[in-house]
């Protein structure tokens, strides 16, 4: 008995369904990238670094977004607020499930970054011997109500 | 159009629409914060920090989803598939949405919807041979991504889940667990839980190789299992249920006998 993938590819080829082939190839390419992550240093670096995308070419980062990344890697967040009088402005150290860069933008985090006068945010992701760490300064935007994020090395 | 194809399409788009509807409140809040506290950062272009674009990408597809649910014509199905892909692509790259995994599932499901609406309609003979496989391949792909990212010493020890779920998750079940067990027991629970997730997600990659009907049931069971860890995971579980429905309906034995005659 043939594997389902063999049956499907044979049927697509027989019917000359290029669209079906394209979808299958795209799935195959993205799956191959995921499978390479544990065994290839370059794939691992790529996969972990896309969680720290400041300084990336936006298009390159966006191309990797369809890779499934649910609860991927060991991501840690460490926040030191500029003003620490309020309880919510105390230093914070915790795990983040995925996409640690997202913790610069959630409504809750935006609010407290502003209320606490800005913050220094350290993000790190670890995967099988590789650790990527990035540090950001979140500052009140000059002459505006918002915030500015910049890499702070 | 074969009935199983129509049913598969309606189930998948309905499940995405339901998740979208339930996320509306959260995205409204995100949009308000984009307005009240805009954040300028080195990655996102200005357009992808726009609150109106965020709301349009989230809520815009609801209209075509409802039209398809009401009367799924080929034209509507094709337009809906394109809209789903575009919406998910925007939400996956928007500053206020890129960190939500829902849109990965919706993005790939959109391509399946497009395949059904074009290739499935034009070549009904393909529906049964390729349709369930494509849906199963996508589910296997999502679990592959989840599993590979957890093949680490930390997840095997249960460290991230201990912190995220058992130390500070506000859910009532986790609060009860915290109140019932001491720290040593919590660590043991977190380790067992984490290892179970790692093994379960790794095993789910094999859904690719199963007969469609069995795979469909297993995907639903797996989705329910995921849902028990956090009630808000409906946002990812509902579209996965939709993919299970596609697998189920497209493996219908009626395709190729009555409807293609």
pLDDT tens by residue, A18-70? 999 999 999 999 999 999 999 999 999 999 999 999 889 999 999 999 999 99
pLDDT (0 to 100) of residue B253: 58
**In whole angstroms, what is the distance from residue A115 CA to residue B41 CA?**
19
C-beta separation of B25 from A102 below 8 A = no
Query: Under an 8 A CB cutoff, do B164 and A97 touch?
Result: yes
Q: What is the mean pLDDT of chain A?
A: 92
- Residue B168: helix, strand or coil by DSSP? coil
DSSP A136: E
> Which percentage of chain A shows pLDDT scores above 90?
75
pLDDT (0 to 100) of residue B141: 97
- Best B124, B130, B247 residue to mutate vs chain A (most A CBs within 10 Å): B130
Q: Does A117 touch chain B (CB under 8 A)?
A: no
ipTM of the modeled complex = 0.93
Query: Under an 8 A CB cutoff, do B149 and A149 touch?
Result: no
- Give the pLDDT of chain B (261 residues) as one tens digit per residue: 788 899 999 999 999 999 999 999 999 999 999 999 999 999 999 999 999 999 999 999 999 999 999 999 999 999 999 999 999 999 999 999 999 999 999 999 999 999 999 999 988 888 888 999 999 999 999 999 999 999 999 999 999 999 999 998 888 888 999 999 999 999 999 999 999 999 999 999 999 999 999 999 999 999 998 888 778 888 999 999 999 999 999 987 565 544 443
CA distances from A71 to A98, A100, A125, B19, B160 (A): 5, 11, 11, 20, 9
With a threshold of 0.80, does the pTM exceed it?
A: yes
Rg (CA), chain B: 20
C-alpha B222, offset from chain centre: 12
pLDDT (0 to 100) of residue B260: 43
**In whole angstroms, what is the distance from residue B205 CA to residue B200 CA?**
9
Choice between A14 and B55, residue whose per-residue pLDDT is larger: B55
pLDDT (0 to 100) of residue A153: 63
Residue A4 main-chain phi, psi, to 5 deg: -55, -35
Q: Does A71 touch chain B (CB under 8 A)?
A: yes
- Residue B155: helix, strand or coil by DSSP? helix
**In whole angstroms, what is the distance from residue B211 CA to residue B148 CA?**
24
């Amino acid at each position: 008995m043939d594997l389902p993938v063999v049956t499907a590819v044979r049927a697509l080829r027989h019917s000359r369904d290029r669209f079906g082939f394209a979808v299958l190839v795209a799935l195959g390419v993205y799956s191959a990238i995921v499978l390479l992550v544990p065994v290839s240093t370059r794939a691992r670096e790529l996969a972990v670094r896309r969680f720290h995308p400041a300084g990336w070419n936006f298009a390159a980062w966006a191309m990797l977004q369809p890779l499934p990344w649910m609860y991927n890697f060991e991501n840690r967040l460490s926040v030191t607020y500029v003003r620490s009088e309020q309880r919510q402005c105390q230093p914070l150290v915790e795990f983040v499930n995925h996409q640690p860069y997202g913790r610069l933008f959630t409504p809750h985090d935006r609010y407290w970054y502003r209320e606490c006068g800005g913050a220094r945010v350290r993000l790190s992701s670890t995967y099988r011997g590789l650790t990527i760490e990035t540090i950001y300064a979140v500052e009140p935007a000059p002459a505006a109500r918002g915030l500015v994020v910049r890499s702070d090395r | 159009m074969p009935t199983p194809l129509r049913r598969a399409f309606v189930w998948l788009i309905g499940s995405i629409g339901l998740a979208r509807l339930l996320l509306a409140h959260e995205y409204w809040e995100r949009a308000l914060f984009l307005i009240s506290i805009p954040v300028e950062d080195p990655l996102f272009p200005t357009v992808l920090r726009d609150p109106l674009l965020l709301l349009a990408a989230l809520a815009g597809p609801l209209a075509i989803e409802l039209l398809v649910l009401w009367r799924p014509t080929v034209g509507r199905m094709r337009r809906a598939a394109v809209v789903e892909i575009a919406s998910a692509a925007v939400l996956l790259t928007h500053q206020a949405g890129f960190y939500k995994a829902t849109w990965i599932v919706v993005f790939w499901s959109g391509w399946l919807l497009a395949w059904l609406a074009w290739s499935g309609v034009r070549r009904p003979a393909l529906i049964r041979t390729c349709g369930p496989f494509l849906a199963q391949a996508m589910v296997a792909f999502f679990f592959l991504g989840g599993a590979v990212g957890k093949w680490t010493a930390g997840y095997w020890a249960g460290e991230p889940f201990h912190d995220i779920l058992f130390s500070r998750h506000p859910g009532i079940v986790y609060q009860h667990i915290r109140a019932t067990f001491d720290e040593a027991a919590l660590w043991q629970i977190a380790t067992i839980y984490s290892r179970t997730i790692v093994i379960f997600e790794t095993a789910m990659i094999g859904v690719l190789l199963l007969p469609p009907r069995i795979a469909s049931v297993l995907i639903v069971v797996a989705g329910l299992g995921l849902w028990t860890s956090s009630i808000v995971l409906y946002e990812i579980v509902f579209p996965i249920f939709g993919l299970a429905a596609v697998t189920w309906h497209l493996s219908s034995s009626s395709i190729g006998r009555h409807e293609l005659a």
